[in-house]
């Protein structure tokens, strides 16, 4: 399958590029090696049909049929997270791994509703993640942003209540963004207009993004832009079906946060070579390369970069442009951008 080689020299180059991650779910960094010990530590009973050991769980993770099949495991997985220390340990493990991959800036998603509905307070979740992010800034030199996602399979009024409970953290600048994830097709963007408006009205400086065009068509992307006023699109794969949309994304320099290995594992495409990456480059649509749920999809950020190289074989200049687009599309100060470029 591999059309191009990613030799030792090229891997080193990709590692050295100033990489920024904009699409990683902290709960999606929870691998089987941490899941079972945490379940034991917290006395969490996993469902009877759940694979019983690391090997069989990893095998099941290699067989996802679509987004919903993955999400069923993702929500069971996060049920082992109970204490503030669990959230800290999880995020810290991610930051150290990503640092080893040559990551300089991380904008990380989390799903508070997946915890609050199990009786874990948003304060426990945010405090654990915030502490890990602060340590990553201090000890690893990674700049960080925390993006709260709403689960689109839950009622929008639940989303509004979640926003209310997060107000202190938006006010304090602990949470920097709002996103929208979970099952896409049955829950289109218009359902969440009021939620996005609530955050926009109170905190105009907060970054807005939404998963769109992963399984949904290009209209999910257009409607996210029009109705939710997002300035970034997570995945955005299906934008390639609408040339007017591609022109609009290019004109506004709206960043797509692409997740190549995820797209293959969830059968959005059969192979990374099918992703419309060349089309985005031709139209001037900026995109970044991300890991999504690395513990479930078999690779962290550098693995995703390497996979794209083996399929597209870009020259160094193109790679530098892709990295620069990632820096410029980050929710950071101009001073920090300058440092990274």
Binding to Zn ion by residue 184, rule CB under 5 A? no
Q: Select from ligand HPA, Zn ion, none the partner in contact with residue 208, using the beta carbon and a kind-dependent cut-off of 5 to 8 Å.
A: none
Q: Choose the catalytic residue: 214, 215, 219, 243.
A: 214
Instruction: Return the residue of 84, 130, 215, 292 that touches Zn ion, per CB under 5 A.
Output: 292
Q: Select from ligand HPA, Zn ion, none the partner in contact with residue 28, using the beta carbon and a kind-dependent cut-off of 5 to 8 Å.
A: ligand HPA
Report the half-sphere exposure of 48 (CA within 13 A, side-chain side): 0
Q: Check if the beta carbon of residue 160 is closer than 8 Å to that of residue 113.
A: no
**By C-beta, is 82 or 257 nearer to Zn ion?**
257
- Is 293 known as a binding-site position? yes
Dump the DSSP string for 31-89: -HHHHHHHHHHTTPPPPTTS--SHHHHHHHHTT--SHHHHHHHHHHHHTT--SHHHHHH
- Is 99 known as a binding-site position? no
Residues that bind ligand HPA (CB under 6 A): 25, 28, 67, 74, 181-182, 211, 214, 262, 292-293
Please report how close the Cβ of residue 303 comes to ligand HPA at its closest, in angstroms: 16
Q: Select from ligand HPA, Zn ion, none the partner in contact with residue 238, using the beta carbon and a kind-dependent cut-off of 5 to 8 Å.
A: none
**How far apart (Å, rounded) are the C-alpha atoms in residues 258 and 289?**
5
Q: Check if the beta carbon of residue 221 is closer than 8 Å to that of residue 256.
A: no
3-state secondary structure of 182: coil
Question: How far is CA 324 from its chain centroid?
Answer: 19
Rule CB under 5 A: which of 106-145 touch Zn ion? none
3-state secondary structure of 260: helix
Catalytic site includes residue 214: yes
Q: Check if the beta carbon of residue 99 is closer than 8 Å to that of residue 142.
A: yes
- Is 309 known as a binding-site position? no
Mark the binding-site residues for Zn(2+), compressed into ranges: 23, 25, 211, 292
Q: Which residues are annotated as a binding site for substrate?
A: 293
The residues assigned a catalytic role are 214
Could you list the residues that contact Zn ion (CB under 5 A)? Answer: 292
């Amino acid at each position: 399958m591999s059309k191009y080689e990613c030799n030792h020299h090229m891997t080193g180059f990709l590692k050295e590029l100033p990489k920024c991650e904009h699409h990683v779910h902290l709960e999606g960094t929870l691998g089987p090696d941490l899941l079972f010990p945490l379940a034991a530590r917290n006395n969490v009973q996993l469902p009877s049909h759940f694979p019983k050991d690391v090997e069989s769980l990893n095998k099941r993770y290699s067989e996802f049929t679509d987004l919903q099949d993955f999400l069923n495991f993702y929500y069971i997985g996060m049920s082992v997270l109970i204490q503030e220390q669990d959230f800290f340990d999880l995020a810290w493990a991610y930051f150290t791994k990503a640092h080893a991959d040559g990551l300089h800036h991380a904008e990380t998603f989390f799903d508070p509703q997946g915890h609050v509905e199990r009786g874990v307070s948003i304060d426990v979740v945010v405090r654990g993640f915030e502490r890990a992010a602060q340590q990553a800034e201090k000890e690893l030199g990674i700049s960080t942003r925390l993006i709260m996602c709403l689960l689109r399979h839950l009622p929008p009024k639940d989303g509004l209540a979640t926003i209310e409970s997060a107000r202190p953290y938006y006010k304090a600048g602990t949470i920097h963004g709002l996103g929208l994830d979970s099952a896409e097709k049955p829950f289109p963007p218009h359902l969440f207009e009021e939620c996005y408006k609530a955050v926009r009205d109170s905190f105009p400086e907060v970054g807005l993004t939404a998963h769109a065009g992963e399984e949904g068509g290009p209209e999910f992307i257009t409607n996210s832009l029009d109705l939710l006023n997002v300035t970034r699109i997570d995945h955005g794969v299906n934008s390639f079906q609408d040339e007017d949309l591609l022109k609009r994304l290019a004109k506004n320099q709206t960043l797509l946060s692409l997740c190549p290995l995820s797209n293959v594992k969830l059968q959005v495409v059969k192979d990374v070579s099918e992703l419309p990456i060349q089309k985005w480059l031709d139209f001037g649509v900026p995109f970044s390369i991300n890991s999504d749920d690395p513990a479930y999809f078999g690779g962290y950020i550098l693995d995703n970069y390497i996979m794209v190289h083996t399929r597209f074989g870009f020259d160094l200049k193109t790679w530098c442009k892709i990295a620069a687009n990632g820096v410029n599309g980050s929710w950071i100060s101009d001073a920090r951008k300058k440092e990274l470029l």
